[in-house]
Chains A and B, each alone.
Chain A
Amino acid sequence: MSTSDETLALRPEVATFVEEVRRHLADLDEETRDELTGGLEADLADQLADGTPLGDPASYATELRTAAGLPERVRRRRGIGAARLTRTPGAVLDGIRDRFLGAVDDPRIRPAWDLLVTLRPAWWVARAWIAVTLLDVVAGGWEAVSLVPTLAVPGLGAVLLLAAVVLSTLIGSGRLWPGSGPDRSIGRRAVLLAANTAAILLPLTWSLPWPSYLTHDPFGSDGYAQAWSDVTRQGLLNHGHQVTDIFAYDAAGRPIPLVQLVDQDGRPLDIPLADATQWDDQTGAPIVACPARNGDAPVRNAFPFARLELASGGPCTVERAAGAQAPAFPLATLPPVTPAWPAIAPAVPATAP
């Protein structure tokens, strides 16, 4: 039979060739591809040992495919080609990928897409940051999102961030599980797809310290800015600045210990307690809001909040509220004001004409 049984050795050019051939069969499902290329390395190593060169992987793949009675490779469009194969999840992903690549091949989009491709490393860094910041948000509690995640131990955030960037880059360049690119198992592709999607969507749930220019209203209408901030953050902004508490003064300019506020439709004008947290100027420790209560229910539209400094963070529970301090008004008094409509001004004593 064969004389080369003893001399058969794994040759790198054969492995590369088979890898190339597999890439040209990437549209087939994995089982069919394995079936088609199984044992190919041994066969090709023998052939090479016999002095026959390997040739072109693309035409080789085509010949293999045709002889095996499989359909020719097609740029998949819905309803065309091997419908049976399209149903496997891998082929569905391939189909979407092909269609997407076809779309960005448009000459008008092409330059922008090329630029985006060169920016891939930026995304690798970004998703690493998102992963570590997610850890920070979950574990850290009441801190604002920062460029270098703080976590609990000084320096830990920076170290974790660096490690995450390295891991993310290795994954992005295909050197680490689950790898990158189309020629992988459906499971690995699904994992990467899910992780990337999560990395895009999760930050939307964080209460990011949006720069004020993002929330500033270009038309100068405070009502618009307010509505926008309600939609995006469900918090309260005052000219683009986060409102963490509200202090009321009466017409004579004296502080009112506690008021309940509603808007024009009678809806409570409240501040989410997470947004109401303030930070100690010196220690940086969180000072959480302890809302007034109706029975056991916290009332978030009653202002100002009592304050409680917490070393470790966490909401102001009923038990903790016992140690809360009365809020300090930012101004002792305000100048008295005269109502525009005197008829509803019982505070101003009527004087004889």
Chain B
Amino acid sequence: MDTTQLLRGVLDLAVLAVVEREDGYGYDVVRRLRAGGLTEVGDASVYGTLRRLYAAGALTSYVVPSDEGPHRKYYGITPAGREQLIQQAKEWTSFADTVTSLLPSPHRPTGAAR
């Protein structure tokens, strides 16, 4: 299955979750997503998502000057973003459970304990 298509639907949730854990700048968020297992994630997709979430009020941003190079733009979560995260996390869990329950039993991760 094309995981990039799947990713598109849940990138907001993943980005919110990563930023909620700790404030981060664009590439830092990309790295943490990849380190967390989303190895396919495109950096431009993440940057665009960060900007969109910021524009929607789910994230704040602040610039940290750098002596040696261009300034870094950090993102942090807002109360509205935290609410969105909780809401979307619920939706995701329920959706994932539903899809999992539709799968034949050998493929169920929960029921496949050997």
Spell out A's residues near B (CB within 8 Å).
1-2, 5-10, 35-36, 38-47, 50, 52, 60-61, 63-69
Contact with A along B11-45 (1 / 0, CB 8 A): 10000000000101111101100000000001111
Interface centre among A6, A43, A45 (most CB of B within 10 A): A43
17 pairs from A and B in contact (CB 8 Å cutoff): A1-B28, A8-B66, A10-B68, A10-B69, A35-B55, A36-B47, A38-B63, A39-B25, A42-B27, A42-B71, A43-B30, A47-B30, A50-B31, A63-B48, A64-B47, A66-B45, A67-B49
- Is A43 in contact with B27, judged by CB distance below 8 angstroms? yes
| Beta-carbon nearest neighbor of B63 in chain A | A39
B interface: dominant SS: helix
| Beta-carbon nearest neighbor of B23 in chain A | A1
A275 to B68, alpha carbons, bound, how many Å? Answer: 67
- In the complex, which residues of chain B have a beta carbon less than 8 angstroms from the beta carbon of A64? 44-45, 47-48
Cβ-based interface call for B82 (8 A): no
A69 to B11, alpha carbons, bound, how many Å? Answer: 12
Q: How far is the CB of A63 from chain B (nearest CB, A)?
A: 4
Known: A1-B24, A64-B47, A67-B46. A39 touches B55 (CB 8 A): no
**A-B Cβ contacts below 8 A, count:** 94
- Is B68 in contact with A42, judged by CB distance below 8 angstroms? no
- Is A66 in contact with B48, judged by CB distance below 8 angstroms? yes
From A8, A42, A50, A63, B73 is in contact (CB under 8 Å) with: A42
Within 8 A of A (CB), among B50-86: 51-52, 54-55, 63, 66, 68-73
From A6, A9, A39, A60, B72 is in contact (CB under 8 Å) with: A39
Interface centre among B31, B55, B69 (most CB of A within 10 A): B69
- In the complex, which residues of chain B have a beta carbon less than 8 angstroms from the beta carbon of A47? 27, 30, 43
The 8 A-B pairs with the shortest beta carbon distances in the complex, nearest first, are A67-B48, A39-B73, A63-B44, A43-B26, A68-B48, A41-B70, A43-B27, A8-B69
A214 to B100, alpha carbons, bound, how many Å? Answer: 86
| Beta-carbon nearest neighbor of B42 in chain A | A63
From A1, A5, A60, B44 is in contact (CB under 8 Å) with: A60
- Is A42 in contact with B48, judged by CB distance below 8 angstroms? no
Q: How far is the CB of B40 from chain A (nearest CB, A)?
A: 13
Q: How far is the CB of B22 from chain A (nearest CB, A)?
A: 8
From A39, A44, A67, B45 is in contact (CB under 8 Å) with: A67
Known: A40-B26, A46-B27, A63-B42. A8 touches B68 (CB 8 A): yes
Q: How far is the CB of B59 from chain A (nearest CB, A)?
A: 12
A48 to B70, alpha carbons, bound, how many Å? Answer: 14
